[in-house]
Amino acid sequence: MFAVIKTGGKQYRVAANDVITIEKLEGEAGTAVTFGEVLLFTDGSGATQVGAPLVSGVSVAGEIVKQARGPKVIAFKKRRRQNSRRKRGHRQDLTVVRVTGISAA
- Note the pLDDT tens digit of each residue in 65-95: 999 999 999 999 999 999 999 999 999 999 9
CA distances from 104 to 2, 19, 25, 51 (A): 11, 20, 23, 13
Residue 105 has pLDDT above 80, yes or no: no
Question: What average pLDDT does the segment 8-20 reach?
Answer: 96
Residue 45's pLDDT is what? Answer: 87
Question: Cα separation of 51 and 19, whole Å?
Answer: 24
Secondary structure class of 31 (helix, strand, coil): coil
Average pLDDT, the chain: 95
Picking from 25, 35, 44, the residue whose alpha carbon sits closest to that of residue 4 is: 35
- pLDDT computed for residue 46 by the predictor: 82
Dihedral sign for Cα 16, 19, 20, 24, please.
Answer: positive
pLDDT, tens digit, for every residue of 31-48? 999 999 999 999 888 899
Domain assignments of the chain as residue spans, ordered by start: 2-104
